[in-house]
Structure 1
């Protein structure tokens, strides 16, 4: 029997959609969301459902409501969601590997198809996303450039279902690099993205898949550092800030 759609489930769907946009970096910490009427129209939902969705996001630490002349609903610095993510990963042994195994299966094939099917014009946004990493200032700009790279690469693969899967996956999985010291993941990610782009541009499908796999294995290592507090070289948890 199909589940009945209620205002509560609709509000949850709206909250999930806004949460994914925040995770992808579409909406940045400190940024004000559109006014209630405008946002409800954009999303095609009733204002009562939007209000409930905003309430859920407030409870989870994603947004805060400010009063006064510059009042409105603003995205927070995401400290509470980041800590909640880390706590969940610690409690659910094996979740990290499940996440990365899924992304490797999905995005290595994306890289293969991009190498085989890309056009020069389709690689322009991929190259621009790589170049943007050279100049990023702050974690939000990094998350945005990182997401643009992976989504643009999926578009270059010219498979709408694959593109949608990559975009959805990036929105559903919290961005764990927000818990890392800033410079190291940027420099490593820049090298990895450049290696993927170079292989795709050459039409080297195997090389593109291998470069993407290496990139995501680096992400696996970063995830382990974030969650468990020490890497294989014994980095102490105190060296890794919580936000």
Structure 2
């Protein structure tokens, strides 16, 4: 569990925002968080609130504190929070369906806007992220490239509120392929990202929206295998997450 029940509002909000960045892959295992004073400045809050938020994240298994000259606060391998997250979504399938439907709406719209608003630099960032997916050799590297692609796309939509909403929705789930990083899944995900990229590159707004929806539908299917197991999904012969609508 995330262990922020009863925490002060500011502290809980800081912990939620940092936790969302970790879950979405913006901060990965082994990454060092900025110093408390720098985090406080970035987030516009006091150092005491940041310190308490980091303690909540440490209790939840998201970060660890290392002492010494090369010490600091680092993202863990996320084994404990990942197991807790799986347990939570297995007991609340409807919640995952809600999140995925929200992401389809938000990111489909972002892709549509990005097709007519993106800059060359953002397009290059998306292309670089897709290239990195091809050479990913771990779930950490895949999470990083996936997060960079979606962040660049959201930024290209030129709507800060939409960008913030996308970050929030993505932060409610771990990057979905964490336990499924094998060749076939990586390639299918890369193909989905590539279809979105090509539509955005070509300035085809409607095709970009459809490509993003298709990509997130693939994510839904991969989540089914993650949550229920491939054998169980095959036996049921339908999509459990979709049937929970």
TM-score normalised by structure 2 residue count: 0.83
Q: Deviations over 1:95-121 (max 9, x none)?
A: 222111111111112222222333444
Which residue in 1 is equivalent to 2:176?
176
Matched residues in 2 for 1:147 and 1:137: separation?
16
Specify the SS of the correspondent of 1:73: strand
**Cα 1:123–1:67, aligned 2, differ >3 Å: closer, same or farther?**
closer
Paired residues in the alignment total: 230
Specify the SS of the correspondent of 2:178: helix
Which residue in 2 is equivalent to 1:217?
217
**Cα 1:204–1:32, aligned 2, differ >3 Å: closer, same or farther?**
closer
Shift of 1:32: 2.8
User: What is the 5 A alignment of 1:33-52?
Assistant: 33-52=33-52
**Cα 1:160–1:228, aligned 2, differ >3 Å: closer, same or farther?**
same
TM-score normalised by structure 1 residue count: 0.83
State yes or no: 1:107 paired with 2:107: yes
**Cα 1:92–1:201, aligned 2, differ >3 Å: closer, same or farther?**
same
Matched residues in 1 for 2:126 and 2:52: separation?
37
Q: Does the 8 Å CA contact 1:107/1:166 hold for their aligned counterparts? A: yes
Shift of 1:191: 0.6
Specify the SS of the correspondent of 1:161: helix
**Cα 1:64–1:88, aligned 2, differ >3 Å: closer, same or farther?**
same
State yes or no: 1:10 paired with 2:45: no
Shift of 1:195: 0.9
Q: Deviations over 1:138-157 (max 9, x none)?
A: 22221121111112112222
